[in-house]
Amino acid sequence: MSERQQESRLKEKRIATLTLGCKVNQYETDGMRELLEQAGGVLVDIQETADIYIVNTCSVTNMAERKSRQMLHRLKKQNPEGIVAAVGCYVQSVPDEVLKDLAVDLVIGNNCKKNIVSILEAYLKQRQAEEAQERRNNKQSNALWLPMDTVTDYEDLEITHPSEHTRAYIKIQDGCNQFCSYCIIPYVRGRIRSRQPEDIFKEVQNLAAQGCKEIVLTGIHLSSYGKDFQMEEGIALLDVIRSLQEVEGICRIRLGSLEPRIITEDFVGELRKYKKVCPHFHLSLQSACNATLKRMNRKYTIEQYMESCKLLRSAYDRPALTTDVIVGFPGETEEEFSTTVRNLKALNLYEIHVFKYSRRRGTKAETMPDPVSEAEKTKRSDCLLALTAEQKAAYERQFQGKAVQVLVEEKLGDGLYTGHTERYIRVKLKSEQDVRNQMIETIFEI
């Protein structure tokens, strides 16, 4: 046992973590878990009684914030004597509200997650010296967050083993400069910050040695990777992909959500050289109507988006193209929504993630006129969910009876395994041998 573990107040403390929201949050939780383990903490399931509960919260929608509050309260009820820490975007969004919440003992913002061990140790030391009521009255001293518009450094967190057996999510970028009119993320995550390429390479190399075969590059605005570096460095997303292509043991490189404008002839022409890159691309859309896109402050047109999809389809065999769409944005008329439906049918994407517009405090859209009723949002959401179900089934039928390569991820029991193809189609299969950590070829059946 290290000297650090012997000294740590976290030694043998039972610690449970919960991640809400995006894959960036999941990566950061995994990084915190490793730090806590190194400090002597004992990681347990969130359903178990723990000494410390850490909730990495989300604030992308009102529903996400509500779920964050619910989970914090549920965990305090699960063990009233346990320490409940609210971490991340919900904290950044409404710090005053979180500070007043008696279910929350510790308040930790973004870019402070790397300090999770020292924060918890200081709190445990303080807790020994204070009565509970005094502690609650002085919660301001148990809070650490930074105004994100002042943060310029990339938060150094890393993982040494994947939370999934065969796939690892690798955070390489944080923050966003786009300021879409509906979005709270630039306010809770700050401006763009990129991770050093040598740190990314080292982490992926280590994960490959642990048996990881697929990596997913993630970020808050992945397409902005490298734009905050000095001009003379000239490092961009393609440079990271190029270097990771050479890591032995990594069979697949999958990309997280991309800005449509990054998809140019030059970008796609270079990308297709790297055979480990999966033909699965998530291009953020939000609306397929130009009038709505303009009010959203999205910086492309539906015609440009369609051209991006065309470029990918010309470079890859039947690529899986997915997107996000918001319904019920302020001022979205029936005609605008009909335009969105018509264009989505023409795009014929593999999958559409549908969200009802959620008003976020402090954003430009908060005060926009002509709000859409909840009933109408539900109606429009149901329409797009039916459309994407139809398009997804049709896309998958193209591969029925064909040989596909599957990265086996989980054993389900009764000889059944599950995994994904390179196009991220989920597959169940049977095998007489333990196929974990193996790429195997099977016949795709629906």
Q: Is residue 157 part of a domain?
A: no
Contacts 24+ apart (CB under 8 A), 149-152: 149/187, 149/190, 149/191, 150/190, 151/110, 151/111, 151/175, 151/190, 151/191, 151/193, 152/191, 152/193
Q: Is residue 159 part of a domain?
A: no
Number of domains in the chain: 3
Say whether both 78 and 111 belong to one domain.
yes
Say whether both 82 and 206 belong to one domain.
no
Residue 295: is its pLDDT beyond 60?
Answer: yes
Residue 2: is its pLDDT beyond 50?
Answer: no
CATH of the domain at 292: 3.80.30.20
User: Phi/psi at 15 (nearest 5 deg)?
Assistant: -125, 125
Upper half-sphere CA count for residue 9 (Cβ side, 13 Å):
15
Of 177 and 151, more confident: 177
pLDDT of residue 131: 55
pLDDT tens across 81-101, in order? 999 999 999 999 999 999 999
Q: Is residue 77 part of a domain?
A: yes
Q: Residue 150: which pLDDT band, with cuts at 50, 70 and 90?
A: confident
pLDDT of residue 162: 80
Q: Is residue 31 part of a domain?
A: yes
Q: Is residue 154 part of a domain?
A: no
Residue 144: is its pLDDT beyond 80?
Answer: no
Range 346-373 average pLDDT: 96
CATH of the domain at 140: 3.40.50.2300
pLDDT of residue 3: 41
Say whether both 18 and 93 belong to one domain.
yes
Range 383-394 average pLDDT: 98
Tell me how crowded residue 338 is: count the other CB atoms within 10 A of its CB: 12
Q: Which strand (E) or helix (H) includes residue 72?
A: helix 62-78
Q: Is residue 259 part of a domain?
A: yes
Q: Do 252 and 422 touch, CB atoms closer than 8 A?
A: yes
Say whether both 78 and 217 belong to one domain.
no
Tell me how crowded residue 147 is: count the other CB atoms within 10 A of its CB: 11
Say whether both 115 and 190 belong to one domain.
no
C-alpha 422/C-alpha 441 separation (Å) is 11
- Portion of the chain with pLDDT greater than 70, in percent: 91
Block residue for tokens 């065969």: 166
User: What mean pLDDT is reported for the chain?
Assistant: 91
271-305 as b/e: b if 16+ CB within 10 A? beeeebbbbbbbbbbbbbbbebbebbebebebeeb
Domain final residue, candidates 364, 381, 396: 396
Say whether both 331 and 201 belong to one domain.
yes
Say whether both 385 and 410 belong to one domain.
no
Quote the crossing angle between the two packed helices 302-315 and 334-347, to the nearest 10°.
10
Say whether both 389 and 411 belong to one domain.
no
C-alpha 345/C-alpha 83 separation (Å) is 50
Q: Burial level of 255, CB count in 10 A (0-12/13-18/19+)? A: buried
Q: Do 325 and 277 touch, CB atoms closer than 8 A?
A: no
Q: Is residue 277 part of a domain?
A: yes
pLDDT tens across 27-82, in order? 999 999 999 999 999 999 999 999 999 999 999 999 999 999 999 999 999 999 99
> What pTM does this model have?
0.91
Of 162 and 259, more confident: 259
Residue 13: is its pLDDT beyond 50?
Answer: yes
Range 422-442 average pLDDT: 72
pLDDT of residue 297: 98
- Portion of the chain with pLDDT greater than 90, in percent: 79
pLDDT of residue 410: 83
Say whether both 238 and 377 belong to one domain.
yes
CA angle 316, 259, 291 (to 5 degrees): 110
Of 165 and 385, more confident: 385
Q: Give the tokens for residue 272.
A: 């297709």
Of 202 and 429, more confident: 202
Q: Residue 446: which pLDDT band, with cuts at 50, 70 and 90?
A: low
pLDDT tens across 269-294, in order? 999 999 999 999 999 999 999 999 99
CA angle 24, 25, 31 (to 5 degrees): 95
Say whether both 315 and 418 belong to one domain.
no
Residue 436: is its pLDDT beyond 60?
Answer: no
C-alpha 45/C-alpha 49 separation (Å) is 8
Quote the crossing angle between the two packed helices 197-209 and 237-244, to the nearest 10°.
30
Q: Residue 1: which pLDDT band, with cuts at 50, 70 and 90?
A: very low
Of 126-135, 187-196, 298-307, 337-346, which gets the smallest average pLDDT? Answer: 126-135
pLDDT tens across 234-253, in order? 799 999 999 999 999 999 99
Q: Residue 149: which pLDDT band, with cuts at 50, 70 and 90?
A: confident
Domain span including residue 419: 403-443
Of 335 and 166, more confident: 335
Say whether both 439 and 371 belong to one domain.
no
Say whether both 89 and 223 belong to one domain.
no
Q: Do 404 and 441 touch, CB atoms closer than 8 A?
A: yes
Q: Is residue 160 part of a domain?
A: no
